[in-house]
Amino acid sequence: EADIYQTPRYLVIGTGKKITLECSQTMGHDKMYWYQQDPGMELHLIHYSYGVNSTEKGDLSSESTVSRIRTEHFPLTLESARPSHTSQYLCASNTGNNEQFFGPGTRLTVL
């Protein structure tokens, strides 16, 4: 089982603020992912990375950006938060066998 951490777990913030959601894993996995999940809805991939200095946009368009400067760290940034960004954000990483493990998620509310 992978150890994958996300902070903060909950965030309530006002419109227009810049926020960074942190994700880190201690397993040395190359591939990492960010998903967005609205209540009762399926997960949608918004960003992924297959290694240091590689990032790609996912299937769902998102105004967020990501960076991958270190293998273990894959933060997601919103430059100017809006109420439409209210959602749960889930970070994941893959083992060499393509098993994907998830962090606990960050529940973001933008007022």
Partner 1 sequence: QKEVEQDPGPLSVPEGAIVSLNCTYSNSAFQYFMWYRQYSRKGPELLMYTYSSGNKEDGRFTAQVDKSSKYISLFIRDSQPSDSATYLCAMSAGAGGTSYGKLTFGQGTILTVHP
Residues that bind partner 1 (CB under 8 A): 6, 31, 33, 40-43, 45, 48, 50, 56, 58-59, 90, 92, 94, 97-105, 107
Smallest distance from partner 1 to CB 69, Å? 19
Confirm if 46 and 57 have CB atoms less than 8 A apart.
Answer: yes
Return the amino acid letter for 109.
Answer: T
Max distance between CA atoms of the chain, in angstroms, equals 41
Residue 23 vs 81, nearer CB to partner 1: 23
Q: How far is it, in rounded angstroms, from Cα 45 to Cα 12?
A: 23
Smallest distance from partner 1 to CB 1, Å? 8
Q: Which of 46, 26, 9, 13 is nearest to 95 (CA)?
A: 26
Residue 14 vs 40, nearer CB to partner 1: 40
Residue 67 vs 102, nearer CB to partner 1: 102
